[in-house]
Amino acid sequence: MSEIFLDTETTGLSYKDGHKIVEIACVETKDLIPTNNVFHKLINPKRNVPEAAFKVHGFSEKFLSEKETFDRIADEFLSFIKGKKLIIHNANFDLEFLNGELGAIKKNLIDKILVIDSLEVARNKFPGASNSLDALCKRFNIDLSRRSKHNALLDCELLREVYINLLDAKEPRFNLSSAEQEPSKSNNEEKIYNKKVLKISEAELKGHEGFLKSELKKNFY
């Protein structure tokens, strides 16, 4: 099954307070293995970007003013995620903004039944611990050196690594029904076994038959 790791960046903490999305990223995987299909858009929020938000993601109002507005990218976004499981960290935050933006332009909303909240998965696995994306990356020794600012696309990539660790699925899962599945190798070396066929001579065969007859007489008669 295909999954989408999804993340957004915004101008603030609540859509109800008039804040908007400034970045959406979606990374598609198949059984948690990247397919190289990516949806990534920077968005003009048509409002100012508070200093606090700028410090988080680094997108200024002037920079974003040259980007497309949400209504221009909504159909492409919905087409990309259609029929796929969505994996989002702290999903309630992203869904409030996404469904707020979608509802404002009378588009179909994202159904929560399609969403896995990795924050809830982490809280169940590590109750009482800090389960932010940063904290989980540190717990699983995932490299955060590229994350000087919040970036939705990078966060999707980090979330995939975190989610694999949360599931204890550290090795990629392969579809064994695939005709292109490669045989496994040990220590990256392919072991080759040669089969040698031995032919028995007629004299050896007769001798073996005689041995069997004598042994059968001894043991059973």
At residue 217, the pLDDT reads 43
Residue with tokens 């409030």: 96
Catalytic residue (one of 19, 57, 89, 150): 150
At residue 204, the pLDDT reads 52
Judge contact between 34 and 77, C-beta under 8 A.
Answer: no
Q: Domain count for the chain, please give it.
A: 1
pTM of the model: 0.76
Give the pLDDT confidence of 117-159 residue by residue, as tens digits: 999 999 999 999 999 999 999 999 999 988 878 899 999 999 9
| Residue 128 vs residue 177, higher pLDDT | 128
- CATH, residue 126: 3.30.420.10
Confidence check: pLDDT of 75 > 60: yes
Judge contact between 91 and 115, C-beta under 8 A.
Answer: yes
At residue 202, the pLDDT reads 56
Rounded distance, CA 113 to CA 43, Å?
26
At residue 37, the pLDDT reads 98
Give the pLDDT confidence of 151-162 residue by residue, as tens digits: 999 999 999 999
At residue 147, the pLDDT reads 81
Q: Is 141 exposed, middle or buried (0-12, 13-18, 19+ CB in 10 A)?
A: exposed
- Is residue 89 among the annotated active site residues? no
Rounded distance, CA 1 to CA 58, Å?
35
At residue 168, the pLDDT reads 87
In a domain, residue 28? The reply is yes
Out of 108-112, 122-126, 204-208, pick the least confident: 204-208
CA angle 52, 57, 59 (to 5 degrees): 90
In a domain, residue 64? The reply is yes
In a domain, residue 23? The reply is yes
In which domain, by residue range, is 24 found?
Answer: 2-166
